[in-house]
Amino acid sequence: MVTHSYHNNVTLITGASSGIGEALAYELAGQGACLALAARRVESLEAVAARCRELGGQAVAIRADISQQTDCERLVQETIEAYGRLDTLVNNAGITMWARFSDLNDPALIEQIMKVNFLGAMYCTYYALPYLQQHEGRIANISSMADKLITPGNTGYVASKHAMEGFFEALRAEVAEAGVSVTMLYLGFVDTGFAGRMLDKEGKVSSGIAAQLWQTKQMSPADSARLIARATYQRKRTVYTHVDGWPGWIFPWFKLLMPRYLEKIGKGFMDAGGI
């Protein structure tokens, strides 16, 4: 049942041209949201914006590379120019890797991942925050259950998600007095093809790399979008999803009490992935 909780809510979504970001755009458009959609792929982004308008929302497509501070500033300003306000920021854009750290041709790959996953979210939040504080806004951060597991082969990705967690946990306390909420969403496997876009040891996209790791129970993008929309609207602090049938909240306890067990599982995933 649609609650229309996002009716006229001005929401900026990064990484909106595909996957979770695209599904979330459609979910909020169906509730009458005013969307600012950001990504690097203009044609795909325009198609998503057009579909959002068909579903009953408003939408503008803004090309932006969030690893660049100037793009993040411009993204927020163009959102304000389009709608005059900003109510919700969804830091969704991200990239990942599948390679042993010792095998990397250049450790700058880790910096690239940090720029997109962590610094991009930080930059967007910095420029959005003054407007969010005006309307007791919401910040939603799409993280990963990889942050709560032990996942060798994903060193750069996990580092970026740890950084995001630490930053936004601290920021939550800073902005509480202004009525701004921060929601951290730790998602398990979502059927978006993300595994097929992992960066290999050369920093190149390798389609199908580690695909066997994703032969497990996956949440659909539409289901993940409904979860994100509901949790963000309700201003929840932390949300965990399932991982292959296991409740996500249990893994931080596993990590605390049985770290070697999680390491063994992670090592098995890495070996199965051929790295």
Residue 57 above 70 pLDDT?
Answer: yes
Who's near 98: CB < 8 A, 6+ residues apart?
A: 153, 154, 195, 198, 199, 200, 206, 209, 210, 273, 275
Query: In whole angstroms, what is the distance from residue 103 CA to residue 97 CA?
Result: 12
Span 22-44, average pLDDT: 97
CA angle, 161 then 162 then 165, to 5°: 85
Residue 269: the pLDDT is 73
The ranges assigned to domains in the chain are 10-272
pTM, two decimal places: 0.91
Q: Give the C-alpha distances (Å, rounded to integers) separating 253 from 148, 150, 183, 264.
A: 9, 12, 20, 16
Res. 195 pLDDT band, cuts 50 70 90: low
CA angle (60 as vertex; 55, 71 as ends), nearest 5? 145
207 pLDDT more than 70: no
Which of the two residues, 57 and 255, has the higher pLDDT score?
Answer: 57
Q: Can you give the three-state secondary structure of 205-261, one letter per residue?
A: ECCCCCHHHHCCCCECHHHHHHHHHHHHHCCCCEEECCECCECCCHHHHHHHHCHHH
Can you tell me the mean pLDDT for 207-211? 54
CA separation, residue 157 to residues 48, 97, 116 (Å): 26, 7, 10
Residue 239: how many other CB atoms lie within 10 Å: 20
Decide: 132 and 182 in contact? Cβ < 8 Å: no
Amino acid at the residue 38: A
59: Cα separation from own chain's centroid: 19
- 6 is known as an active-site residue: no
Q: For residue 194, name the pLDDT band (cuts at 50, 70, 90).
A: low
Query: For residues 128 and 236, what is the distance between their CA atoms, to the nearest angstrom?
Result: 20
β partners of residue 143: 186
| Predicted pLDDT of residue 209 | 54
Take residue 137 and report the two structure tokens written for it: 């806004």
CATH class of 10-272: alpha beta
For the stretch 175-184, pLDDT in tens is: 999 999 999 9
State the pLDDT confidence band at 217, using cuts at 50, 70 and 90: low
What does pLDDT average to over the chain? 90
pLDDT tens digits, 68-109: 999 999 999 999 999 999 999 999 999 999 899 999 999 999
Q: pLDDT of 107-161, one tens digit each?
A: 999 999 999 999 999 999 999 999 999 999 999 999 998 888 878 889 999 999 9
* Rounded average pLDDT over 160-177: 97
Which position has the token pair 């979210």? Answer: 121
Q: pLDDT exceeding 70 applies to what percent of the chain?
A: 92
pLDDT for 179:
98
Catalytic-labelled residue, pool 26, 131, 157, 233: 157
Task: Tell me the mean pLDDT in the region 56-61.
Answer: 98
